[in-house]
Structure 1
């Protein structure tokens, strides 16, 4: 059973997340020949203050 974890900064819409799940699932089905119903995709919505870039939080950088 393929399992994909995707880390994103918070703020994406439900529609965007749905598209990520659909496209990642399709890619794993195509690349691995896995049955679609066996693919799992987990999106981690990360708060911007919990994501560091170059020694600063993404929030402090205005991302």
Structure 2
């Protein structure tokens, strides 16, 4: 029984998450040849303030990008 876990930063529309689950499910089914009922897909959404890379949270990185874009627009 395959169990696939996908972790993403939160903020995507439910329809996009559902499409992701469908495509992951189909890829596992087609690749492994297992019955649909045996496949489990879990999508975990993590707040951007709880995910960091290089000691910078995703929220901090987004704020930095917004500030940079704002500065460019002011120039």
- Both structures adopt the same fold (TM-score exceeding 0.5): yes
Give the strand-richer structure, 1 or 2.
Answer: 1
Q: Which runs of 5+ in 2 are unaligned?
A: 64-75
Q: CA RMSD in A?
A: 1.1
TM-score of the two chains, using structure 2 as the length reference: 0.80
Give the helix-richer structure, 1 or 2.
Answer: 2
| Count of aligned pairs | 63
Query: After the TM superposition, which segments of 4 or more aligned residues of structure 1 sit over 4 Å from their partners?
Result: none
> Which structure has the higher relative contact order (CA within 8 Å, separation 6+)?
1
TM-score of the two chains, using structure 1 as the length reference: 0.94
Q: Which runs of 5+ in 1 are unaligned?
A: none
